[in-house]
Amino acid sequence: MPSTCVLTVGSTRFDALVASSFDSTSLSSLASLGIQHVLAQVGNSTLPAGWKEGTRTTQQGLQVEVVRFLGDLEERAGRTDLVVSHAGAGSILSFLRPLDSSLPSSQPNATRRQLVLVPNSTLMDSHQSDLADEMEKKGWAVVCRRPEDLSATLQQLASQAEQQSEISAPDYPELDKGRMQRIIDETLGYI
């Protein structure tokens, strides 16, 4: 079972996801998943009453570290088994990049890594919903459509973990480090 969860809203403001994440039911659901430590990167979001930046232990026995921004978010997300994130491209890449096989073997067990996406529909053109839909279609993420449903989504993961004795991670794509360069070269007419 995973013991660490990273919650991230990226550099935006996503008050609804932060509030839902700090709800006692969501924290209890995380604890039932075996989570012991939560790193909550809240960006410019408003914190719910009683919460502030720093470390706090909740009634469920979780250690919750609340930070606004982190320079090493990708590294921290890469060392965890569960990431709950808005569906921003940068945050999704922070989860996927550490799956590179050239990274040290200290990375989490790839059979357990899980990504839960909560699209921020208040942003332009609901682009996060489109990205989350594609990730879900490929089987690479669990999508929670509304922040207020986060607890139920986490409870569903916990139930699935109980039935399978461990959460199975999706089959993530192999990292192709040269793909972006090829796209740029093709676009500019170099190849």
pLDDT at 94: 80
Q: What is the rounded distance in angstroms from the CA atom of residue 75 to the CA atom of residue 62?
A: 21
DSSP 145: S
Q: What is the rounded distance in angstroms from the CA atom of residue 72 to the CA atom of residue 178?
A: 24
Asked if residue 171 has pLDDT above 80, the reply is no
Asked if residue 90 has pLDDT above 60, the reply is yes
Q: What is the rounded distance in angstroms from the CA atom of residue 22 to the CA atom of residue 83?
A: 15
- Report residue 127 as tokens: 């682009």
Is 67 within 8 Å of 41 (Cβ atoms)? yes
What the chain holds in terms of domains, given with CATH numbers, is: 4-188 (3.40.50.2000)
Looking at 1-5, 101-105, 146-150, 185-189, which range is the least confident one?
101-105
Asked if residue 65 has pLDDT above 80, the reply is yes
Query: β-strands 82-86, 37-41: how paired?
Result: unpaired
Q: In which residue are the tokens 């039935």 written?
A: 163
Q: What is the rounded distance in angstroms from the CA atom of residue 160 to the CA atom of residue 5?
A: 17
